[in-house]
Structure 1
């Protein structure tokens, strides 16, 4: 399946019309999140690297034109104007792994109008999914309050490609490891894993299963203890680890039931057996809410394995992300639809301490005490910067999250940080609005919408 044809059909029909009308002047599209999902005080920008890889290799081939023609029920010759189209534009983007707020552009694409239009669908797909998951992951790290978090999501993500992205974002946001072997190997990130209940069931009893597993695998092992009765399983694991002298670095894993109560009972059994160094791993439907409750209850859990609910961001499975035209042929444009107003012009985000951000115009000088957040990362269709090494991005994200107001970092009912709009951007917005009212709709008929999005 071609990446180029993995798009919404209307991107193709609009691009064809632009070409017919010779509308190929530079256009700037801004991609932003209109509003944060519930229980989110901030977001983490992610997916930029995927977008840049996609744009760098974008090209419409003859086979793509044939596929478009078939979808439209038209002869291939009608689609030939698209053949050979590559992305030749510029991208300014927030570096991956930075905190972002509602209304702020995650990236802006400037390219000949047909090119900028054709890539919309995949740009939105990469940014929306990965920003959503990265934001969920970093909340898990916050909830764990210094305890290790590992990724167990691959088997239930929405496709294996999504699973690879989730594991990478886990590494970016501060997780300690992943069960995903491919990502662990690619990123030099710790691979982690235990055993399944089926493994235990295949043996006559738990003790035989644990013994066989420990004999097969040198070094520390993690034994799944809740196949039958959790407390009995912990006791069996303790006997095996003592008999084989394998306690150092090893762990037992709780995967069901009342994890708080069972963790206290498991700790008591292990301590009574003289194994205080054996850790407790908890899994089974966990996300930041459950982790926060267990940490708050001082449950003696050392490692939290999060999977399904984090890999699909179960409580907030989508972002209200938009990719909107803000300038064409040097003319600032905006949308006035009720509740979906956009601000015109190419933009910049000026970051101040604590993420007290100001959204301004791209050509404004930096505000005192601020740093421009969007950077030119692709020019002429080719990368012009190198991505920040993963470890550096991880440290930068941790430092930035730590600077957020405590109320924005709350797991339940956080208070979102709000960006403000600069004077020049507000002035331009008012001027473009008046022009549209005068030239297009007439001032008496225009709806009066609320807050302007970035």
Structure 2
């Protein structure tokens, strides 16, 4: 069996311990229950009237970044389980741009053995390619900012979480290679940490720990006492006192702050400004630090990201000013809450001093854009495809 490696050069062969268990689903034994019914009925027709060698062309309807290895690996695994040969021609290198309607794969083999696999290999392809595209865009917009994948809670199950982590790693690797971006440095779960070349997931505290402790400072103390060797990222929006709580924690742990082992995370929701800001003060802080960001015409969405409520560019600049004024220039700022490609573009415009972005917003915004499609373009060596899809025929 062929072995494909992921971006971190770890084997994904089904016989290897690194093969993700979620991607083995469905197995050959359970596949018929998850395949579209017209595929299984067609399989019975082919069994009755004779097999043919066919070639499928696989494409997407929007531009994407090629992230095909997971889908291809699953397909090869199932075909090997069936003792059937398959030839898969990947037309674009992993991480390359693929145009709308442009064939990404040609899959050649027995129609009997391939026809009921389409549902699953398309599921594992389309969303990964869009996630890779979005992750790449975000990393390129903010090449000096590290990204941290926190998408797992927004995924529809563990298999989607696996696919999304893989997609983000492909987009990140492309941004690192082409633009020297820092890219994605890790994620929130142990199971998918290997995609980011890590042994475990990262994380410090959720809002629940602060609620449990009764104060932001006490939650930090509890965490530090329990995990003394861990760097600390402190959530500071729980009580609506982002600046006050950030300074209280940094003053309590000045040595950690001086060594760069303490970060503050802004996660303020869009219903209010961070402590000390309003519209006028938000304009003022940007005028001091990135005046060009507010000089030209801006759309409503752009203004919201620049000077609006929640985690805006103004909020991040305000936190940076306060930390520096208090003598804590080495305390990093982690920003989360709605950081997708567009918000990253606006943060770059404002030169927002973000050290790390926690994001799940590289997940596809419009799920309809993730739909990958496969059409048979050749039957026993004779080119044939439905009218309107002639662009898929091999040149």
Matched residue, 2:382: 331
Contact 1:150 1:303 in 2 (8 A): yes
2:192 is matched with 183
The alpha carbon displacement at 1:56 in A equals: 2.1
Residue by residue, what CA displacement relative to the aligned partner does 1:225-250 show, whole Å, maximum 9, x if unpaired? 11112121212222122166664232
Q: 1:346-371: per-residue Cα shift (whole Å, max 9, x none)?
A: x3xxxxxxxxxxxxx2xxxxxxxxxx
SS at structure 1 position matched to 2:141:
helix
| Structure 2 CA distance for aligned equivalents of residues 167 and 240 of structure 1 | 36
Could you tell me which of 77, 90, 93 is aligned with 1:56?
A: 77
Sort the Cα spacing of 1:258 and 1:90 in 2 relative to 1 into closer, same or farther, 3 A.
closer
1:269 matched to 2:322? The reply is yes
Decide whether aligned partners of structure 1 residues 245 and 141 sit closer, same or farther in structure 2, where only a CA change above 3 A counts: closer
Preserved contact between residue 26 and residue 113 of structure 1 (Cα < 8 Å): yes
Checking the alignment, whether the CA contact within 8 Å between 1:27 and 1:328 is kept in structure 2 is yes
Listed one character per residue, the Cα deviations across residues 328-347 of structure 1 (whole Å, up to 9, x for unaligned) are 111111211xxx433364x3
In structure 1, the partner of 2:105 is 107
Q: Does 2:217 align with 1:207?
A: yes
Count of residue correspondences: 311
Q: 1:344 to 1:46 in 2, by over 3 A?
A: closer
Q: Does 1:29 align with 2:56?
A: yes
How far residue 264 of structure 1 moved from its aligned partner, in angstroms, is 1.8
Partner SS state of residue 58, structure 2: strand
**Structure 1: tracts of 5 or more residues without a match:** 37-41, 61-84, 348-360, 362-454
- 8 Å Cα contact 2:168-2:362 kept in structure 1: no
TM-score, normalised on structure 2? 0.73
Cα deviations by residue, 1:403-431 (Å, 9 ceiling, x for unpaired)? xxxxxxxxxxxxxxxxxxxxxxxxxxxxx
Q: Partners of 2:170 and 2:76 in 1: how far apart?
A: 22
Match in the other structure for 1:278: 331
Q: Distance in 1 between matches of 2:97 and 2:245?
A: 43
Change (3 A) 1:204 1:21: closer
TM-score, L = length of structure 1: 0.64
- Give a deviation string over 1:299-328, Cα, whole Å, max 9, x none: 221111111x323x1245533422111111
RMSD: 2.3
CA distance in 1, matches of 2:154, 2:256: 35
Matched ranges for 1:67-86 at <5 A: 86=83
Q: Given the alignment of the two structures, is residue 90 of structure 1 paired with residue 87 of structure 2, yes or no?
A: yes
Please give the residue correspondences for 1:10-409 in structure 2 after superposition, counting only pairs within 5 Å: 10-22=38-50, 24-33=51-60, 35-36=61-62, 42-58=63-79, 86-93=83-90, 94-174=92-172, 175-185=184-194, 188-189=197-198, 191-217=201-227, 218-228=229-239, 229-242=241-254, 247-256=259-268, 257-307=310-360, 309-311=361-363, 313-315=364-366, 317-336=368-387, 340-343=388-391, 345=393, 347=394, 361=395
- Distance in 1 (CA, whole Å) between partners of 2:266 and 2:368 is 27
Give the Cα–Cα distance (whole angstroms) in 2 for the partners of residues 332 and 261 of structure 1: 58
Q: Rg: which structure is higher?
A: 1
Q: Residue 219 of structure 1 contacts residue 246 of structure 1 at CA under 8 Å; is this kept in 2?
A: no
What is the match of residue 9 of structure 1?
Answer: 37
Q: 1:305 to 1:245 in 2, by over 3 A?
A: closer
CA offsets, 1:158-203, max 9 Å, x none? 2111112222222222212111211114763273223111111112
Cα offset, 1:86, TM superposition: 4.5
Structure 2: runs of 5 or more not aligned? 1-24, 173-183, 269-309
Change (3 A) 1:185 1:133: closer
Once residues 84 and 339 of structure 2 are traced to their aligned partners in structure 1, the CA distance between those partners, rounded to angstroms, is 42
Q: Distance in 1 between matches of 2:96 and 2:256?
A: 46
Distance 2:44 2:235 in 1: 58
Cα distance, 1:247–1:279 mapped onto 2, change above 3 Å: same
TM-superposed deviation, 1:154: 0.4
Deviations 1:268-296 (A, max 9, x none): 22112211011100001221111211221
- Say whether the 8 Å CA contact 1:224–1:254 is kept in structure 2: yes
**Structure 1 stretches of at least 4 aligned residues deviating more than 6 Å after TM superposition:** none
